[in-house]
Amino acid sequence: MAAVTQRKTEPVVTEFAARVYAATRRIPRGYVSTYKLVAAAIGCRSSRAVGQALRRNPFAPEVPCHRVIASNLGLGGFSGHISGAALIRKRALLRQEGVIFRNGRLADERQMYRF
């Protein structure tokens, strides 16, 4: 049946945002990537635009936005906040996946996933 199997009213996102989410979902568990790498992966030179798309993240938690950090190995932001409890939660989430953060920075650069 189902002439209209409306599955959840997919949020309307732009083509650019869809690429950002697709690239982010490619990041395997236990690895992290940076805004710049994601931007480069989708053919964009502005990491800022990536951050804007991830901030909206209508596909959370399907899209592991917490696996995207800043290029300086910092946590960057999370849940609309660039610091505070949100960052602590982001660090905890990554730690559960095997990504260790030291002093608010990625301990092992080897865990940075390259597209």
State the catalytic residues.
65
Find the binding residues for DNA in span 24-63 (CB under 7 A): 34-36, 44-49, 51-57, 60
Residue 99 identity: V
Least distance to DNA from the beta carbon of 4, Å? 25
Least distance to DNA from the beta carbon of 83, Å? 9
Report in angstroms the alpha-carbon separations of 4 from 7, 9, 12, 21, 27: 9, 11, 18, 26, 33
Strand partners, 32: 112
Quote the tokens at residue 26.
């490619």
Write the interaction track for DNA spanning residues 6-25; mark x where CB under 7 A is met and - where it is not.
--------xxxx--------
Query: Between 30 and 104, whose beta carbon lies closer to DNA?
Result: 104
Q: Are residues 115 and 26 in contact, defined by beta-carbon separation less than 8 angstroms? A: yes
Tokens 């993240």 correspond to 57
> What residues make contact with DNA under the rule CB under 7 A?
14-17, 34-36, 44-49, 51-57, 60, 65-66, 68, 70-72, 74, 76-80, 82
